Each structure stands twice: as C-alpha cells, then as structure tokens.
Structure 1
C-alpha cells in the first residue's frame, strides 16, 4: 500500500515537474503498435495519455480516486482503474508496466514486485523511476534534527533504494535487470515557499499527532536551516536522487 493521501488539486498546480520529468523515463520503453502498457501510479493521467499517443493500449492504475477523477475528466477515452499497486490486475497479462515517481511510496516492496511479475507476459518490460538512495537527504536530516530537539520521533516514510538492493529484489521475482542508473537531479520548486510547500505536499506523515503550531515551527526552522544550501537565485532546488530501471520478465 502507499503511505500518502494526495491533494490532487495542489499536486496538479504546483508539482507538474513530476510528470514532466517522467517523459524521459517513457523513452526507455521499447514500444510496438498496439502493445498493452500499464501506467502504474498514473496520478492525473498525463503520462498515460503520452503512452497512448505512442500507439499503445495504455491503462492507468492508481490507488487515489481523487487523482483518477482528474484523469478521467481530462482523458475520458482512456481506461483508468482504482487499485493498489501490490494487488492490481487488468484481466490479462500485459506487455509492459511503466511507473514514474511511485515505488518509493510503497510499504511492501516484495508484494509490489511479485504482483508486477505476475501481471507481465514472458518477455514483458518493467520501466520505472523513483526516489533513490540519498533522495532529499538534506531535508530528511534537517526534519529529523528538529523533531529530536523537541523530544519527538521522526518517521522516515519513504523507501529510497540503491541499485544493488533493488536489482536483487527484482531478480528474486524473475525480472532481469537490463539497465539501471542512480543519479542526482536537483529539482526546482515553485515560488518563495517551495520547500515548505514540498513538505506539506509530500512529507506530512511524520507530523501526525503533532500540534499544528509545532508543525509550522518545525517546517520554518528547516526552511531557514536549508536556505543557504538549497535556495539559489530566487528558487528552491530540492536534493533529489533518482533510480531508473528497466527489467525484463
């Protein structure tokens, strides 16, 4: 299961970089006319539409019904399924599963990979990108310090893997890794409040049970600590690290 509840309107307005960077990941797919591709964790469907425009039968799958409302409204001719990544099925084995910026949200990686392998045809492709080892570490470490200084426990709610760790998991489930890379990608945020907005959007789970005034104190302390490092020429750039993989069943 995923460990976040999405604010779909805020996501579409302020975090469009997620699907924009996903265009590069699409290029890793070997596409043939009419092949069936699942866009796993499709969100508002923009990359599902991209896959469809390439001549595939693209099916979007997402656990967030709020996101799928936007997807169906924007692309009414495409198929979207509300289902969890660890248990989804589309009724037949598919040629490829594509996923962008999703896997680091999944609690049970073995269930996720086992289900992906189950849904793919022999020779089918998995192409994915997600947060890799060291992703947003400056932000995570700063938040952790602020929590600890107040006697609070900071829960890291992401799964950020190395290549070796994830390749082992994939191969254990019969997926042969053909390509993998881990790379830094400083990622620009929108506006003067870009870092605070990012925390509010993507990293609120550790704040559950914390008084709202204390939440804001923590976030503002993190903003001030990291301003000299991550704020450049009027914009925030988060210390993203991505892992990008292609594997074959």
Structure 2
C-alpha cells in the first residue's frame, strides 16, 4: 500500500464527499445487479454502493487500496478486502466488475483494464463511472498555478487519469472488451464543504 493509499480517511470522505456515492445511482442502474451474481466492486471506498449491490441479492466483494476504507466497508456488513485494480486475481470468475468514482485515481489504466479482464468470467461485464476529460478543470488549473509558484512539478498525470471516451474505449477494445456504451457526461458538482475540505479528502 502506498503512502497515498494510506492517507485516505473514511471519516473525511463521508463528511466532505458523500455526494460521490449519492451520484453513483446511475451507474448502479447500468450494472443492474441480479440475485446470485458474483460482482466485484473495484475501489469500493467506504462500501456505500457495495451495500446497495449486496441488497440486490448479488454476492459482492469490495476491493480498495486504502485500509481505512476497507474497514469502513466491513463496518457496513459487506465483504471487503485490500487490493488494487492492477493486481486483480486471474480466474476469479466474476459476472461483473463495477467501479464508481475510482478509476481516475488509478494512473496505469492499461494495467487496471487487464486486471479487470482477468477477474471477469468469459462474457462478464464491466460497468464503471469515473472522471473524464475536463474533470475538475478549474481545480486543476488552480492547483497547477499553486504548484508552479512553489517550484513543484505540475505533472498531474501522476495523480489523476481523465481520458476522453475515444481514448478509454480504445484501451478497452485493445484488451478484448466489446464497448457497448461510453460517454462523457457533463456534471457540475458544487462542493458544499468548500475547496479546502475537498483537498483534505484526497
């Protein structure tokens, strides 16, 4: 686990970023979990959506790189374990892999896509929501300016991966996926707790 993974706090996340799981309902609708299905929730965070998948009758396992998030998910009564998208087990045979607001933190997208492919059974589905091209643009501009002023690297690709739909679809197809739906959906999101609290959540 990296120092960045260890820094995630479930309590801060719940206080400052509860909107993330609240806005995940549309992705859950696309997933349409069925009773008895084996589903992996990649980047499950505190398990808010994992619990909703479990309530559908599916057999769900949450995976997150942050120990505090895994503990919070387990406290909700769902199965969760430490893990990374790049290192998902081969032959796990999941019917679906789901991910909400997590893939953009995983900065080796090809390795993550390969991990998802390993975890799925043949014909399984991958349903995900993540930040795309232009995400948090105003915040990124301000952050780059602040970093430059301090003489620090302004290469944010080490922090976030925000692809265009075409770019990410090409990566998925190269890994053998059939892409049935991919879109960039504008979704301005007010940060009610303020930008300082938002940064503390990261």
Aligned equivalents of 2:133, 2:153: Cα separation in 1: 22
Aligned position for 1:148: 148
Could you say what secondary structure the match of 2:185 adopts? strand
Q: CA RMSD in A?
A: 1.8
Matched, 1:85 2:66: no
Are residue 172 (structure 1) and residue 181 (structure 2) matched?
no
CA distances 1:42-71 after superposition (whole Å, capped 9, x unpaired): 111111110011121111111111111111
In the superposition, relative to structure 1, how do residues 167 and 146 fare at CA in structure 2: closer, same or farther (>3 Å)? same
Structure 2: runs of 5 or more not aligned: none
User: Does the CA-based 8 Å contact 2:42-2:85 persist in structure 1?
Assistant: yes
Once residues 150 and 83 of structure 2 are traced to their aligned partners in structure 1, the CA distance between those partners, rounded to angstroms, is 38
1:125 match? 125
Structure 1: segments with no counterpart, 5+ residues: 203-249
Q: 2:9 aligns with which of 3, 7, 15?
A: 7
- Count residues in correspondence: 198
Distance in 2, matches of 1:91 and 1:180, equals: 26
Q: Which secondary structure state, in structure 1, belongs to the residue aligned with residue 23 of structure 2?
A: helix
Shift of 1:148: 2.3
Deviation beyond 4 Å, 4+ runs, structure 1? 1-4
Instruction: Give the drift of 1:29.
Output: 1.5
Which whole-Å deviations, capped at 9, do the CAs of 1:166-217 have from their partners, x for residues lacking one? 00000111111101110211112223xx112112322xxxxxxxxxxxxxxx
1:149 deviates by 3.4
Q: How far apart, CA to CA, are the structure 2 residues paired with 1:197 and 1:13?
A: 9
Task: Provide the rounded CA distance (Å) in 1 between the counterparts of 2:81 and 2:110.
Answer: 22
2:196 and 2:189 mapped to 1: Cα distance?
Answer: 14
Given the alignment of the two structures, is residue 60 of structure 1 paired with residue 62 of structure 2, yes or no?
Answer: yes
Name the CA shift for 1:33/1:139 in 2 (closer, same or farther; >3 Å).
same
SS at match of 1:39: strand
For 1:97, the equivalent position in structure 2 comes to 97
Structure 1 residues 142, 116: CA separation in 2 closer, same or farther (over 3 Å shift)? same
TM-score (norm 2): 0.91
- Aligned match of 1:198: 198
Residue 49 of structure 1 aligns to a residue in which SS? Answer: helix
Say if 2:97 and 2:125, in contact at 8 Å, map to a contact too.
yes
- Counterpart Cα distance in 1 of 2:120 and 2:84: 16
If you compute each CA radius of gyration, which structure gives the higher value, 1 or 2?
1
Structure 1 partner of 2:31: 29
